[in-house]
Amino acid sequence: MLHSGYWLFEFISISHFLRKAPIQYGTAFLQTETDDNDLTYFIIHQAEIIRQALKELHDYVLRKSSQTRACLDALQKHPELNHRQQALVAHAVRHPGFVYNIVGHQTRQAVTYATARADLLRLAELDLLEQRKVSRTFVFIAPKDLNLRLQSENITHKASPKARPSRL
């Protein structure tokens, strides 16, 4: 099917369904052999497997899009994040494992190095990005569980540096 241009089948696994019901597969195959090689039984069985796989893919896409939508909605409710940080986190939600750096953020957002650095450090402080040092450069990685981190209200419980009481 991939060779015929049905690109969606790249994301479908029928082997999962075949492993779950090997007897039905064998029965469809045997019915074909015992009925003068009439492929009708086998084709009907394979069509049903493909229908189940398409339904599973559709359900997965709906589930992931609703999770992403919920995360982006949660992101909009956090006033402590500026528009640059919100854009970066929105990108990170869709690209887990993506690596950000200060210079890249500076270039994309057309801000000074200090502003880009402050944006990324604040996101790391809020536990929305993972901060690591590679050689002499800081990198910030989009965590795979960013959806959960956004929905868990972690960022609302961490006070911003400006809101902390000063000690005299």
Domain assignment present for residue 40? The answer is yes
| Residuewise pLDDT in 10s, the chain (168 residues) | 888 888 888 888 888 888 888 888 888 888 888 888 888 888 998 899 999 999 999 998 898 888 778 777 777 777 788 989 988 998 998 899 999 999 999 999 999 999 999 999 999 999 999 999 999 889 999 999 988 888 775 554 454 444 444 333
Statement: the pTM of the whole predicted model exceeds 0.85: no
- CATH number for 151: 1.10.10.10
Can you give the pLDDT at residue 153? 55
Can you give the pLDDT at residue 33? 84
Give the span between the Cα atoms of 158 and 17, in whole angstroms: 46
Give the span between the Cα atoms of 140 and 5, in whole angstroms: 38
Give me the domain span that covers residue 57.
14-65
Domain assignment present for residue 134? The answer is yes
Q: Are residues 110 and 147 in the same domain?
A: yes
Give the span between the Cα atoms of 70 and 148, in whole angstroms: 10
Number of domains in the chain: 2
Q: In the beta sheet, which residues pair with residue 140?
A: 100, 131
Can you give the pLDDT at residue 66? 84
Q: Are residues 106 and 151 in the same domain?
A: yes
Can you give the pLDDT at residue 119? 96
Q: Are residues 92 and 139 in the same domain?
A: yes
Domain assignment present for residue 41? The answer is yes
Can you give the pLDDT at residue 162? 46
Domain assignment present for residue 138? The answer is yes
